[in-house]
């Protein structure tokens, strides 16, 4: 897969072009110079070219610590797009980047994109602008406006430099499995939409392409400056995130891939997040993007807390959001080497008290700086991943629940007993179960805990969040079978939607929620 690297001065429009290329709101855009603080990578498909990874570099600021990131983008990219603000012109920072490209021997692979041009310049204006770059030996110079979508000349140049439509088609065919092929050709289905309750929206989530490819996605979550970027760099042996004593150095989430002992992983380093109610502006955007990433990629979560600060209000608030998504989570206590045995025991007690029992969340103490216990994380992650995909048959579930009612039945308020007709697993990852009962309003937290304990034991789900949906039994077995078939048809119809249709449906749902409030 070829890589396209974006470089340029702060606020030249790189992030706008980045979002334009990948077709989504991925990089953070503001009028503040240097808003993009880390290397951002995103895979996308460009028509006529195929699958590419687009890399966005940090804006080159006065601080020369940025230079290694620019250099890495240049070295790893097959094609480099340097974005220049035509109003500001070529400055000393731009010239330094061009020199870096020349030293790497990639000047013939570089495109200079003169950005923020609302109108295409005439021949005389183009000749005047081009003369400024001619002595650098730059052959590829295009004009346009990323903000207004005037990137046609740039895309045509990329098309000639990077690939052909046939190459793209072949890549798609090579990756398409027989099972996927069959799924898309099973037959004609109607476009009927089915309204789902909020709790059932989890069932609509598709497995992302990383999971389908056998890769394990891992997200590193925590409040600012608990050591997330240091941890990621230690694990990957690369300086993927800038490590700083300034809280909030990472604004956008950064993804990187690595292979350890034949297992592929995708790591997501996220912005340091404070409590949702206390964030504004860029931090609010960063929080929303991180939360969206968690919902889409459904990774294993490594939740970092600082051992020398203990469990804070912010930690508890963030964990609430994580638990709402029902993602397998490992609590990683960083800076554990700074604590004595008594302090460690107090901290573990606080973690269990605030985050839940050991059967729901696993815990490991590490030092991201020295590497203490880093090697313990990988086997725990693999174990969580494997057990979070355990599927229990309806027969197994109901046998264990019936046994539980006989051996240690739950207690209920007077005349509010819950009768369970049957329970079935409706989704594997995250594990979601649906119980058909006599009266949904009779369900208490105590009954939920009782049922969860039984199911957790039956599926060996230690450390795995479980989610239960309760339904009043208003249909017989035949009616339930028809219900499931309708759900399958709805999912197949969803898979056929175009990106525009998906966005329109998402907006429609959001509008309905707002009206409901």
At 340-385, the pLDDT tens digits run: 999 988 998 888 888 866 567 889 999 988 889 999 999 999 999 9
Q: Report the distance separating Cα 326 and Cα 348, nearest Å.
A: 22
Residue 157 has what DSSP assignment?
H
Widest distance between CA atoms in the chain = 89
User: How high is the pLDDT of residue 213?
Assistant: 61
Bridge partners (DSSP) listed for residue 423: 435
Mean pLDDT by 10 residues, the chain (517 residues): 87 83 55 51 75 72 64 91 86 87 91 85 77 78 85 84 55 41 32 35 48 78 82 70 45 72 83 52 62 82 91 86 86 91 89 74 89 91 91 92 92 87 88 90 92 93 90 66 71 68 76 70
Residue 287 token pair: 């929080």
Q: Report the distance separating Cα 457 and Cα 164, nearest Å.
A: 54
User: How high is the pLDDT of residue 151?
Assistant: 84
Q: Report the distance separating Cα 455 and Cα 461, nearest Å.
A: 8
CA nearest neighbour of 330 among 297, 366, 296, 295: 366
CA nearest neighbour of 205 among 25, 427, 45, 42: 427
Q: Report the distance separating Cα 305 and Cα 98, nearest Å.
A: 41
Domains annotated for the chain, with CATH where assigned, are: 2-167 (3.40.50.300), 206-383 (3.40.50.300), 394-516 (3.30.300.20)
Residue 72 token pair: 């890495």
CB 471 within 8 A of CB 441: no
What is the β-pairing status of strands 420-427 and 432-437? antiparallel
Q: Report the distance separating Cα 97 and Cα 246, nearest Å.
A: 26
Phi, psi dihedral angles at 44 (to 5 degrees): -150, 175
Q: Name every residue whose Cβ is closer than 8 Å to that of residue 471 and which is 6 or more positions away in sequence.
A: 434, 435, 436, 437, 440
Residue 261 token pair: 């002992």
CA nearest neighbour of 502 among 171, 24, 4, 12: 24
User: How high is the pLDDT of residue 285?
Assistant: 58
Residue 93 token pair: 């920072």
At 393-423, the pLDDT tens digits run: 998 999 999 999 999 999 888 888 999 998 9
Q: Report the distance separating Cα 483 and Cα 468, nearest Å.
A: 18
Sole residue written with tokens 């573990």? 348
Start-end of H helices in 163-311 = 165-175, 178-184, 209-212, 228-236, 281-297
Cα atoms in the 13 Å half-sphere on the side-chain side of 136: 26
Sole residue written with tokens 């109108």? 119
User: How high is the pLDDT of residue 44?
Assistant: 80
Q: What's the pTM value of the predicted model, to 2 decimals?
A: 0.55
Distances (CA, A) of 500 to 48, 185, 396, 497, 505: 20, 22, 42, 8, 9
Bridge partners (DSSP) listed for residue 51: 45
Sign of the alpha-carbon torsion through 45, 46, 48, 53: negative
CB 452 within 8 A of CB 470: no
Q: Report the distance separating Cα 258 and Cα 288, nearest Å.
A: 26
Q: Report the distance separating Cα 88 and Cα 114, nearest Å.
A: 10
- Angle of helix 92-103 relative to helix 67-76, nearest 10 degrees, comes to 40
CB 49 within 8 A of CB 159: yes
Q: Report the distance separating Cα 269 and Cα 253, nearest Å.
A: 5
User: How high is the pLDDT of residue 477?
Assistant: 58
Q: E strands along 233-381, which residues?
A: 254-260, 263-269, 300-306, 329-334, 362-365
CB 96 within 8 A of CB 139: no
| C-alpha dihedral, 127 to 131 to 132 to 138, nearest 10° | 100
Q: Report the distance separating Cα 143 and Cα 224, nearest Å.
A: 40
Rounded to 5°, the CA angle 352-353-359 comes to: 40
Q: Report the distance separating Cα 251 and Cα 469, nearest Å.
A: 36
Phi, psi dihedral angles at 454 (to 5 degrees): -65, -50
**DSSP 3-state assignment of 227?**
coil
| C-alpha dihedral, 393 to 395 to 398 to 404, nearest 10° | -100
């Amino acid at each position: 897969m070829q890589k396209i690297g974006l470089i340029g001065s702060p606020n030249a429009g790189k992030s706008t072009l980045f979002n334009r290329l990948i077709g989504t709101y991925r990089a953070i855009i503001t009028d503040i110079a240097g808003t993009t603080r880390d290397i951002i990578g995103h895979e996308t498909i460009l028509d006529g070219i195929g699958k590419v990874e687009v890399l966005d570099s940090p804006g080159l600021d006065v601080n020369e610590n940025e230079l290694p990131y620019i250099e890495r983008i240049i070295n790893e990219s097959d094609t480099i797009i340097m974005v220049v603000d035509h109003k500001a012109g070529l400055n000393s920072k731009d010239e330094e980047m061009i020199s870096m490209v020349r030293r790497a021997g990639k000047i013939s692979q570089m495109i200079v994109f003169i950005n923020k041009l609302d109108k295409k310049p005439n021949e005389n204006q183009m000749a005047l602008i081009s003369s400024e770059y001619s002595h650098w030996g730059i052959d590829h110079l295009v004009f346009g406006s990323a903000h207004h979508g005037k990137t046609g000349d740039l895309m045509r140049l990329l098309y000639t430099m990077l690939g052909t439509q046939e190459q793209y088609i072949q890549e798609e065919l090579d990756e398409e499995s027989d099972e996927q092929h069959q799924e898309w050709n099973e037959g004609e289905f109607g476009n009927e939409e089915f309204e789902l309750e909020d709790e059932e929206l989890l069932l609509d989530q598709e497995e992302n392409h990383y999971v389908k490819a056998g890769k394990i996605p891992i997200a590193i979550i925590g409040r600012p400056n608990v050591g997330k970027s240091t941890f990621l760099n230690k694990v990957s042996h690369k300086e993927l995130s800038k490590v700083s004593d300034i809280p909030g150095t990472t604004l956008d989430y950064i993804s990187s891939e690595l292979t350890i002992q034949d297992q592929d992983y995708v790591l997501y380093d996220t912005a340091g997040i404070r409590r949702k109610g206390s964030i504004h502006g860029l931090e609010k955007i960063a929080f929303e993007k991180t939360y969206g990433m968690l919902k889409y990629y459904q990774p294993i979560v490594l939740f970092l807390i600082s051992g020398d600060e203990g469990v804070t209000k912010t930690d508890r608030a963030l964990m609430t959001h994580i638990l709402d998504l029902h993602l397998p989570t490992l609590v990683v206590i960083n800076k554990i080497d700074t604590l004595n045995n008594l302090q460690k025991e107090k901290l573990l007690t606080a973690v269990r008290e605030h985050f839940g029992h050991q059967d729901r969340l696993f815990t490991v103490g590490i030092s991201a700086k020295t590497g203490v216990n880093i090697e313990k994380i990988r086997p725990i992650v693999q174990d969580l991943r494997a057990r979070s995909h355990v599927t229990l048959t309806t027969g197994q579930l109901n046998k264990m629940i019936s046994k539980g009612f006989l051996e240690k039945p739950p207690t209920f308020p007077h005349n509010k007993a819950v009768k369970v007709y049957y329970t079935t697993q409706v989704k594997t990852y995250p594990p979601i179960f649906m119980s058909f009962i006599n009266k949904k309003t009779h369900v208490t937290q105590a009954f939920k805990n009782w049922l969860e304990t039984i199911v957790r034991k039956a599926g060996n789900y230690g450390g795995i969040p479980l989610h239960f949906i309760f339904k009043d039994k208003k249909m017989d077995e035949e009616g339930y079978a028809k219900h499931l078939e309708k759900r399958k048809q709805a999912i197949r119809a969803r898979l056929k939607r175009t990106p525009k249709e998906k966005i329109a449906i998402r907006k429609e749902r959001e509008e309905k929620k707002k009206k409901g409030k």
